Chains A and B, each alone.
Chain A
Amino acid sequence: MIRKILLTLFSFLIFTVTVYAENATEIIRKSEEAVRGNSQISRIEIIIKTRRWTRKLELKSWENRLEKKSFSEITAPRKDAGNRFLLINQDMRQYVPKLKKDIKISPSMMLQAWMGSDFTNDDIVKESSITKDYFHSLEKEEKVDGHSCYKLILKPRPDAAVVWGKIVYYARKGDYLPVREEFYNEHGKMKKIMTCGNFRKMHDRVIPTDYKMQTVGKKDRYTRMIIRAVKFNQTIPASVFTLQNLKRR
């Protein structure tokens, strides 16, 4: 009898968890979809502040999220202009004009800082996917930066090649847009915080256009990524995501 009750309780428990998980996954999916669309063509400005210097980079970027392809090119400053990055599935390559050749960024380097910023290579090309590589669960509702948000906990799937032990994701209620993301290492220590701000209408939708990534414990540095212009769900010719395009002179 007791066993039966326990069993029922247990199945209830599992049931509730699944329901929650589905909701959470749905929120993350919608959030991703809202911010990135199926594809996007964008002009991005990246401001890197370190202990020593602050510099501004400008990039043009093409991304096909469904096919997991992305291409980006630095357009300013002059010194770094012409450096291009191509990602097809897992394979990331960088064209360095100074060397007149392209180099492969090995998977082990995906987690290194991108150009001295607080973003990793992985953050820039979004190789890993917060929808597919993580289990999601809905924690509670919380107010962040004046927005009432869903607080979501993301735990990596056992087979996923991701670096974080946990991500806490705050998504706005209503339009599911991200407001804040906290990245924890496998020991549960917070390592990085990304705050999303300046919600504006870009092309056909409202998105956060100013992302600020900070490394916990390094107060004198941050990286900001500002979306200057973006077009969603445009057809991008397949020739963009090719080695020829990467290596063109």
Chain B
Amino acid sequence: MINVDEIKLVSGISWRNVWRNSRRSFLTFLTIVAGVTLIIFMRSLQNGGYSQMIEDSIAPLTGHIQIHEKGFWKNMTLEYAFQSDYELLGKIRGIDSVKEVSPRIYAGALMICGNSSAGAEILAIEPGAEKRITTMHQYILPGGRYLEEGDSRSVILGSNLASNIGAETGDTVSIVSQGFDGSIAAENLTVRGIFRSPNVSYNRTLALIPFEQGREIFTMEDYVSSYVIRTDDTDYVPVVLQEIKKIAGEELEVMPWDELMPEVLQFIAMDRASSHIFVFILYMIVAFGILNTIQMSVFERIRELGIMLSIGTTPGRVFSMVITESFFIAVIGIAAGLVTGAALSYYFTIYPIDFSEYRAEMELYGMSTLVYYAKMKASDFFITSGFVLVLSMVFTFFPARRAAKLDPVRAIRHL
């Protein structure tokens, strides 16, 4: 049975106790506010950084979801292709929050310019649709341009590939490979532009050609290597993925970005693990801050508590009183901490931390993400407040028990 009067009494006394030594309460309160603020802010920065990292690594080329014939991703050869299906394309376009879907042809080839040659990955794309899926067109170096609808015999080269074979915008390069039917595939192409993307491996090997040109060179008939899909937001990917899996045939593999680029998630997992350690330290600072101040408040009031006990207050009531005091402070502190944490995070959502000035240095370390903004997540707020509340209760338990177990006779004489 819950005794309402008892609760009223204890909470009333505790509430007054909180304010009786307001400076002490304020210290505890500050510890909690600072801890919660920092944790919320750090989590928000992490969320933002991770989504930006994901976005930056999948945006240039990968898209959100790709569909291939089963085995393509493992083998990455032209041999794995499927018959383009306009009905399926239409159905995918019809799914909510699918922004764009576009076919591609992928093949390895030898690229020749003058007397030099190098291995290259040829990707045949539809320039118009691709602009809505990927950001590669933003990385074209001055002097050149991206592929356009109606381009024929055109190619866009990665910057390192271009310099390896000594090709410049306007030059003619040749590609030699094998067609889908096994015949020799070869064509002379004019370099329309050169791109330098944040992903160095694309710059080293990738060459983009118009989709129709690719179909012709590799004798694809109506076969394609992949469909690439972009949704309105990375968060919609799991839902859209399930929808597509329902309508795609058995012989197709439907892969989300996190399967296409597992290294991004691996990096994030590693980074998250190290951040857990940091957050743990923050939690501990909060916990010991609470332990310290509550302990002090109990010490300070030994005489008072002794009198309470000797005039008949039960040890249980003293125990609840101390716990409730701490509870009040914690709840107010957490609430204030959430507000300041949200405010701080919001500032960095609008004004992200920008490392663009250090682009060259960052790229040297393989970091392509230059802008870090904060992104708040409701779950962080719940988890953080829950954790801090539980911690403050657990760490108040010891001083509260100490207060309850005081020997009244000795406590009264305590100075």
Contacts and interface: CB of A to CB of B under 8 A. Distances in A.
Interface string A196-234: 000000000000000000000000000000000000000
Contacts of B181: 53, 55
A55 B186 contact: no
B182 interface: yes
A99 B178 contact: no
Interface stretch (B109-117, B260-268, B394-402): B109-117
Contacts, number: 46
B188 interface: yes
Nearest to A54: B182
Contact of B79 (A50, A96, A103): A50
Given A79-B183, A104-B117, A106-B117, A115 B178 contact: yes
A101 to B, nearest CB: 7
B184 interface: yes
A201 B171 CA distance: 53
B165 to A, nearest CB: 12
Nearest to B172: A99
B219 to A, nearest CB: 8
Interface string B142-181: 0000000000000000000000000000000010101011
A116 B218 CA distance: 13
Interface string A102-121: 01101001000001100000
Contacts of B183: 55, 77, 79-80
Contacts of A103: 110, 112, 117, 174, 176
Q: Which of B178, B182, B184 has the most CB of A within 10 A?
A: B182
B186 A98 contact: yes
Nearest to B182: A55
Given A51-B79, A53-B182, A115-B184, A96 B117 contact: no
A194 interface: no
Nearest to B175: A99
Interface in B168-212: 174, 176, 178, 180-184, 186-188
Interface of B: 79, 110, 112, 115, 117, 119, 174, 176, 178, 180-184, 186-188
Interface of A: 48, 50-53, 55, 77, 79-80, 83, 94, 96, 98-99, 101, 103-104, 106, 109, 115-116
Q: Which 7 A-B pairs have the closest CB atoms?
A: A98-B186, A55-B182, A116-B178, A96-B186, A79-B183, A99-B174, A80-B184
